Structure 1
Amino acid sequence: MTLHVTPPDALLACDARDGVATLTLNRPAARNALSDDMIAALTTALAEVAADRAVKAVVIAANGPAFSAGHDMKQMTARRADADGGAAYFADLMARCSTMMQAIVELPQPVIAAVEGVATAAGCQLVASCDLAVAGAAARFATPGVNIGLFCSTPMVALSRNVPRKHAMEMLLTGDMIDADSACRFGLVNRVVGAGEALAGARALAAQLAAKSPLTLSIGKRAFYAQLEMGLADAYAYASRVMAENMMARDAAEGIGAFIDKRAPAWEGR
């Protein structure tokens, strides 16, 4: 096990069992704001997960009344006292946060957000960056930067790749909160469960994924995001190459053989 399992009171609580790693934002008094330390902790944990063959799926959850309120505005405001008014810090912060969000997309394992409470600004971006999301019925989502003179430009990148254009623009231009059912209808989350049941729902979904070939999930996740950036003909050419190569994998031979023999497959991850 490569993932460093932390004590439950850590800034980012990390736990791994039965092939599922759970990363829990644990700064409830600050509404799990993405501070410098929180971004660093998530970046480190994601790197450890990526290298851990025992981890088949990942859940990102949060303690307290908010999933994440986004960037730490108090921390950001304090840097206005810098000699350059905070310009260098703000640029570095956005780069570090963007790198962390991209690490979720680039992770070999599927990542599922378990959302209770509010997920706003970069917190909403974190949800959108995950491959899948399960929301409790009381969860709410917003990109409210426009209300304080700071357009949610980096959250927009993840949001606009998950939500249809008109819905994304409405969220970004109005800053209004949307409820869990609307988020599901928009495509920001996959499932809505009872209030307080998001973590259980996400772990159940993660367990379902963890039972599949980890190699196949990794191939599929990487190909999914790659082909989205291509034109139709290029996407088909790329996907055809990926599928032909996938057919040569030991797990593909095993899975097809198990299907024909009507037995459970024994995945090897190769």
Structure 2
Amino acid sequence: MNPIKTRREGAILEVKLDRPKANAIDLETSKIMGDVFLEFRDDPELRVAILTGGGEKFFCPGWDLKAAADGDAVDGDYGVGGFGGLQEMRDMNKPVIAAVNGIACGGGLELAISADIILAAEHATFALPEIRSGTVADAASVKLPKRIPYHIAMELLLTGRWFDVQEANRWGLVNEILPADQLMDRAWELARLLASGPPLVYAAIKEVVRDAEDSKFQDTMNRITKSQLPTVEKLYRSEDQLEGARAFAEKRDPVWKGK
């Protein structure tokens, strides 16, 4: 049985990690996810992805320790995009929404914070328990101190303690908290809103944000003005940029073509 289920509606792709009992990710599942997100990235007809988990208890607990015991190497080949297919996917210039439907711990939490927007069910819980098994939450160690206050991130990394969705929201890790039966409806509502927007602008935003993450403000601004960011240059020379100006002048909604 394929552990990844997809649903496509217009420009939106829903990706569901559905691997009972807990949606843990082994090497094979990670490779499948990578192929799915690569296809999403490269398909010009797709504009937004939703990532969620199957069932009501688990979003994803991360690495499949049972598979590891059977021979899956923790440092093995996760496939294109790294663990879960999303964490290291190069040039992912389309919005990704994580709909966290339950427990998100370890690599599952790292997978969620690889998305651009995180919605969570009100029963969702989170943790980075790698410290307790003598290993490092590597992606979270890189990303989390940049997403939430440094001292909070370090506490979570150093203790491995669990925290609930209200705390995640308080630190800005989660955008919205929703009743479980409303989570996917809200994810699709948001995805449809994004799908109706300007894809070339989204791509430019994501590239600028990535570039600025490890750069000084002026360095990124210089790269923009020197035409060194491809998505920004594509936007500035696009039909969509002209369409935006025309629509504003004509007092109508723009029609985005992504070119």
What TM-score does the superposition give when structure 2 sets the normalisation length?
Answer: 0.89
- The superposition leaves residues 116-175 of structure 1 with CA deviations (integer Å, 9 ceiling, x where unpaired) of 111000000000111111111111111011122223223322323322211211111111
Whether 1:91 aligns to 2:93 is no
1:214-246 superposed Cα distances (whole Å, 9 cap, x missing partner): 122112212211122111210222344455763
- Find the counterpart in structure 2 of residue 256 from structure 1: 245
- Distance in 2 separating the partners of 1:214 and 1:173: 39
After the TM superposition, which of the residue ranges 184-193 and 206-215 deviates more from structure 2?
184-193
Query: For 2:168, which of 174, 183, 192 is the aligned residue?
Result: 183
1:217 matches 2:166: no
Shift in CA distance, 21/187, structure 1 to aligned 2, threshold 3 Å: same
1:109 to 86, 94, 100: 94
Alignment partners' CA distance in 2, 1:181 and 1:256: 41
Matching residue of 1:12:
4
| 1:78 aligned residue | 70
Which residue identity is paired with 1:230?
S
Q: How far apart, CA to CA, are the structure 1 residues paired with 2:203 and 2:190?
A: 16
Partners of 2:135 and 2:206 in 1: CA distance:
32
The alignment partner of 1:71 has SS state of coil
Tell me: CA distance 1:98–1:69, structure 2 relative to 1, closer, same or farther (3 Å). closer
Equivalent positions of 1:1-270 (< 5 A) are 10-29=2-21, 31-64=22-55, 65-79=57-71, 89-93=73-77, 97-98=82-83, 100-104=85-89, 106-240=91-225, 241=227, 246-270=235-259
Give, in whole Å, the separation in 2 of the partners of 1:47 and 1:244: 23
Change (3 A) 1:57 1:78: same
Deviates more, 1:117-126 or 1:251-260: 251-260
- Shift of the alpha carbon at 1:94? 6.6
8 Å contact kept, 1:59–1:111: yes
Aligned AA for 1:208?
Answer: L
Alpha-carbon offset, residue 266 of structure 1: 1.3
Distance in 1 separating the partners of 2:39 and 2:234: 27
Per mean C-alpha deviation after superposition, the further-off stretch among 10-19 and 91-100 is: 91-100
Q: How big is the shift at 1:195? A: 2.5
In structure 1, distance between residues paired with 2:90 and 2:120: 19
Q: Unpaired runs of 5+ in structure 1?
A: 1-8, 80-85
| Aligned-CA RMSD value | 2.1
Identity of counterpart residues, as a percentage? 27
Say which is worse superposed, 221-230 or 104-113, in terms of deviation.
104-113
- Judge which range, 123-132 or 229-238, deviates more: 229-238
How big is the shift at 1:105? 6.4
Identify the range of structure 1 (104-113 vs 115-124) with the bigger mean alpha-carbon deviation.
104-113
148-157 vs 241-250, greater mean Cα deviation: 241-250
Contiguous gaps of at least 5 residues in structure 2: none
State the shift of 1:258 in Å.
0.5
Q: TM-score, normalised by structure 1?
A: 0.86
Q: Distance in 2 between matches of 1:36 and 1:22?
A: 21
Tell me how far apart the structure 2 counterparts of residues 188 and 166 of structure 1 sit (CA, whole Å): 14
Which residue in 2 is equivalent to 1:82?
none
Bigger shift: residues 160-169 or 106-115: 160-169
1:55 is aligned with what amino acid? Answer: L
Matched residue count:
253
Contact 1:43 1:103 in 2 (8 A): no
8 Å CA contact 2:38, 2:89 repeated in 1: no
Secondary structure, counterpart of 2:86 in structure 1: helix
Q: Quick one: structure 1 residues 26 and 245, their matched pair in 2 at CA, closer, same or farther if it must change by over 3 Å?
A: closer
Aligned counterparts of 1:51 and 1:200: Cα–Cα separation in 2: 26
Q: What amino acid does structure 2 have at the position aligned with 1:90?
A: V
Deviations 1:161-200 (A, max 9, x none): 3222112111111111111121122222211112332222
